[in-house]
Structure 1
Amino acid sequence: MFHLTRRFHSALPLAWLVSGVLDSLILLALPALVMLAYLLRRHQRIVGLVGTASWASIGFARHVMVDDLVRLGSWTVLSPLVFLVGRQLRLLLIGS
């Protein structure tokens, strides 16, 4: 459950590059919003397991959420740069 977010985070730059190649600003925000929705849902699930699962606690849930939000925020700061690289690739491929 917790190792999926690293895979999702590694796919974000590729999604932003594709959105730059497609020249779509709406697709620029979509991967981060989907990832945020997943993180919120996972946080609710962990908090819901507090008291029933031996590893679940409020502190653990906060730690996981803050760690993932910081990672998502740092990747999102880089998203315009990756988008611009994709847009430049589009211009090179199209030639206009």
Structure 2
Amino acid sequence: MFLLTKRISMGLPLAWLLLGLLHLPWLLPVPAALMLGFLTWRHRHILAQVGTAPLASDGFAKHVMVDDLLRLAGQVLLSPLLYLLGASFAVTP
């Protein structure tokens, strides 16, 4: 599950570049919103396993969530730049 999160996180900049290439600024918040939904689901999944799984604890769940939210916040701060970079490469008819 944690490797999947890193792979999805690495795909977010590519999504913003693609949105820039397609000139779709109204879709700019969608990749981050989908990632936030996935992180929320994963946080609840970890909390549901507290007491049964060896690594699951409240502190571990909070640590993972804060780490992922900080990474997402940094990527969201860069998303307008990535969008503009993609838009600059777009071919206009």
Structure 1 residues 28-39: aligned runs within 5 Å: 28-39=28-39
Gaps of 5+ in 2: none
Which SS does the other structure have where 1:3 is aligned?
A: helix
Percent identity between the aligned chains?
51
Gaps of 5+ in 1: none
Query: Which residue in the other structure is 1:24 paired with?
Result: 24
* TM-score computed with the length of structure 2 as normaliser: 0.95
Query: Which 4+ runs in 1 deviate beyond 6 A?
Result: none
The size of the alignment, in residue pairs, is 93
Query: Which residue in the other structure is 1:60 paired with?
Result: 60
Structure 1 residues 32-51: aligned runs within 5 Å: 32-51=32-51
Deviation at 1:26, TM superposition (A): 2.4
Instruction: Describe the superposition over 1:57-85 as per-residue Cα deviations: whole angstroms up to 9, x where unpaired.
Output: 00000000000000000011000000001
Alpha-carbon distance in 1 for matches of 2:26, 2:43: 26
